[in-house]
Amino acid sequence: MNIAPFIFIWLLATFSMSWFGYVYRPNAELSRQEPFKDPITAAVYPVGRSGEAMQGAEVYRAQGCAACHTQQVRPADEGNDLGRGFGIRRTVATDYMLDCPPQLGAIRLGPDLANFGLRKNTNDVAWIYLHLLKPKALVERSNMPPYPYLFEKVLANSGHPGAISIPSETKYEFVPRDEAKQLAAYLVSLKNEGSVFEAPIKRPSTGTNAPAGGTNAPAGTNAPVSAANTNAQAK
């Protein structure tokens, strides 16, 4: 008897289970997912990125940054990511809902960047440029490769606005190209600070009998928490 047709049918039936569970069902459910609107503060999370930051996500993708940097923070009881300052809560699917594609990464050969924007902000772009241009100038033992092609090399003191210099180079300065600016914009836009159902952010006690709903307040109401982390270097 030819058993091939039976094997074929059973293979289809068996594999359909995982296809249905991991591909069809998530697709049917989550594809209609919309940003969360806090019923109390009316703040929306996640908010989309600016055009420049979205272009920066493409630069991030093109350089393959996800090969070294994850964008996923573990919960407090699973590892010490929160203790290292990688974020203020665990990462959930809602955080990268609007990213296409999300760049979660799988191996850390550098710090997690899911909340880079909580550690560095738009005032720190010079630091970001220098880190892209010569990482060892900022972190002596860094194993991050430099990205000189994201900058235009010009003579020192030639009056280029925004030019940055590196300590070991006196003759030249480096002007960030558009890709470097976009990448910096993307990096500072990385912040998972919305308080969501799966991962609420605990706010410091105010000493009042504020209702529990307040603990689910999204971005705007988390100023004390965010400020505590802003400019904090990941350990």
Partner 1 sequence: MTASALSPTPAPSCAVRPPTAFVDASTRWPVLLMATSSVKWLALALLAGAVSFLKLHATGFLAGVPALTYGRLVAFQDAVFIYGFASQAAMAIALWLICRLGATPLIGRGASVIAAIFWNIGVFVGAIEILAGDMSPFAHFQFPHNAMPILFLSYCLYGICALLTFAARRECSMYPSLWFVFAGIVFFPWIFASASMTLWSPSLRGSVLPVIAAWAGNNIVTLWLGSIALGAIYYFIPKISVKPLYSYSLAVFAFWLYILFGQSTGMHATAAFPSWITGLSELCTMLMILPAFANGLNWYSTLGSVGKKSDDVAFSFTWWAAALYFVGTIIAAIAAFRPANLFLEFTLFQAGLSSIVLLGFVTLSFFGAFAYIIPRVTDLKWADSMRMHYLLTLSGALLVIVSLLIAGLIQAGKAADVHTDYVHVVRSGIMPAGLAIIGYLLMLAGQFSWLWNVKSAWFSWCCPGSAQGGRR
Contacting range for partner 1; rule: CB under 8 A; set: 87-95, 115-123, 170-178, 217-225? 87-95
Among 56, 111, 176, 194, indicate the residue that binds partner 1 (CB under 8 A).
111
Nearest to 175 by CA among 157, 202, 193: 157
31 binds partner 1, rule: CB under 8 A: yes
In the block, tokens 């996800």 appear at 66
Among 55, 91, 221, 226, indicate the residue that binds partner 1 (CB under 8 A).
91
Nearest to 116 by CA among 68, 150, 70: 70
Among 12, 76, 155, 156, indicate the residue that binds partner 1 (CB under 8 A).
12
Three-class secondary structure of residue 44 per DSSP? strand
Residue 229 CB partners (closer than 8 Å, separation 6+) = 85, 88, 115, 118, 119
Contacting range for partner 1; rule: CB under 8 A; set: 88-96, 116-124, 182-190, 223-231? 88-96
141 binds partner 1, rule: CB under 8 A: yes
Output the smallest distance, CB 160 to partner 1, in A. 20
20 binds partner 1, rule: CB under 8 A: no
Contacting range for partner 1; rule: CB under 8 A; set: 36-44, 69-77, 169-177, 213-221? 69-77
99 binds partner 1, rule: CB under 8 A: yes
Question: In this structure, is the dihedral angle defined by the CA atoms of residues 140, 142, 146 and 151, taken in order, positive or negative?
Answer: negative
Which residue, 28 or 40, has its beta carbon nearer to partner 1?
A: 28
CA–CA separation, 68 and 112 (whole Å): 9
CA–CA separation, 104 and 114 (whole Å): 8
For the chain, how far is it from start to end, CA to CA, in angstroms?
65
Which two tokens mark 81? 């990511």
Contacting range for partner 1; rule: CB under 8 A; set: 57-65, 157-165, 166-174, 212-220? 57-65
129 binds partner 1, rule: CB under 8 A: no
Which residue, 29 or 161, has its beta carbon nearer to partner 1?
A: 29
